[in-house]
Amino acid sequence: MSGALLSVEDVAVDLPTPRGNLRAVDHVDLVVGAGKTLGIVGESGCGKTMLSRAILQLLPKKAKLSGRVMFDGQDLPALSAEKLRKLRGRSLAVVFQDPMTSLNPVLTIGTQLTETMQEHLELDLANARQRAIELLAAVGIPAPEQRLSQYPHQLSGGMRQRVAIAVALSCEPKLLIADEPTTALDVTIQAQILDLLAREQQRRHMAMIIITHDLGVVAGRTDEVAVMYAGRVVERAPTPSLFKQMRMPYTEALLAALPKLDAAPHTPLPAISGRPPDPTRPLKGCSFSPRCRYSAGRCGTEKPHLSAAEAPDHLYACFHPIAAGANA
């Protein structure tokens, strides 16, 4: 795709651990176009955060990265630390699950907002302050002027996440990576924050990656979804196609295992038996094979590759994909 803002090509992340090498991200390819939203879904430990840290070039020191990360025409791993820092402050922004990871506990909210803007947008203090107030109002913080002198710990979790989003938006980034921005929050606050992100994204024509373990979060709010399992992307498709027709058995099982609001109480859930493989002991065949009810033949001995078998934009990694129409 030529108009891609971000392209992740064959990225792998290896981490040395006492149990041996751990492949956290295993040959992932992704593309995000300008102004588009990609959802990355998967369970705990499947590599979502490591992938986003690989994109941001914020991996742990001992991590080994391979592959290419092209952002806005630049090869990120090849950039100097100084260039990267500039880029992350400006066109590439991030919001983490815990807002305190992004916020500095000893600086007031006003300082955190104005400093970034003074540095990256070269605004003077008065202008930066004015913009800070506007931003806080835009993210739904009441009495924004008074908040400038407050510290993060004086706010509730939901408010802190709004401030973290305001900081991330302050320099008009081209891409915002939101790593489980609402997992720690209540449903009503979660809905408010997701609305806020969607609104700001549209207004600014910003691209966004929403990382979550909740298929419900990506369904109504993304253009494309990538499902990860054991470090790999196992299915990728435009959001409507994915939900209309899941081809990879893991994606289907993940959706089925969610309790449904329209199901009667005490309906047994179609649980997935077992658990994901130990990432330091990778399986020879398909990583999902020990838990997959369709596993047969080469599933246990050969890795299926992510490919588009029928529709060009619907990719999946499976030898025995679910037949068209089977789960619609």
Partner 1 sequence: MMLQAVSDPLLKVENLVVEYSVGGKTIHAVSDVSLDIARGETLGLVGESGCGKSTLGRAVLQLRQAVSGKVLFDGHDLTELRGEALRRMRRRVQLIFQDPIASLNPRRRIGDIVAEPLVIAGVKDPEERRQRVNEVLSAVGLDPALVSGRLPHEFSGGQCQRICIARALVLNPEFVICDEPVSALDVSIRAQILNLLEEMKTRYGLTLLFIAHDLAVVKAVSDRVAVMYLGRLCEVGPSEQLFARPAHPYTALLIEAIPVPDPDVRPTQSIPVGEPPSPIAPPSGCRFRTRCPRADARCSSEVPELRLVAPGQLAACHHPLI
- Mask: binding to partner 1, 243-272, rule CB under 8 A, as x and -? x---------xxx-xxxxx-xxxxxxxxxx
Give 42 or 110: the residue with its C-beta nearer to Mg ion. 42
Q: Enter the tokens of residue 152.
A: 């993060």
| Beta partners for residue 30, in sequence order | 8
Stretch that binds Mg ion, among 47-55, 66-74, 151-159, 260-268 (CB under 5 A): 47-55
Per-residue CA distances from 145 to 168, 183, 186, 192 (Å): 19, 28, 26, 21
- Mask: binding to ligand ATP, 268-307, rule CB under 6 A, as x and -? -----------x----------------------------
Q: Alpha-carbon distance 41 to 142, whole Å?
A: 32
Q: Enter the tokens of residue 241.
A: 């196609």
Per-residue CA distances from 49 to 3, 224, 287 (Å): 25, 18, 19
* Residues 276-305 within binding reach of ligand SF4 (CB under 6 A): 286, 288-289, 292, 294-295, 299, 304
- Determine if 41 is a binding residue for ligand ATP (CB under 6 A): no
- Determine if 203 is a binding residue for partner 1 (CB under 8 A): no
Give 128 or 248: the residue with its C-beta nearer to ligand ATP. 248
DSSP 59-99: --TT-EEEEEEEETTEEGGGS-HHHHHHHHHHTEEEE-SSH
- Determine if 20 is a binding residue for ligand ATP (CB under 6 A): no
| CA angle (179, 206, 40) in 5-degree steps | 30
DSSP 208-241: EEEEES-HHHHHTT-SEEEEEETTEEEEEEEHHH
Contact residues: partner 1, CB under 8 A: 43-44, 140, 156-159, 186-192, 194-195, 198, 213-217, 219-221, 239-240, 243, 253-255, 257-261, 263-273, 275, 291
Contact residues: ligand ATP, CB under 6 A: 15, 17, 22, 24, 42, 44-50, 60, 213, 279
Contact residues: ligand SF4, CB under 6 A: 248-250, 286, 288-289, 292, 294-295, 299, 304, 318-320
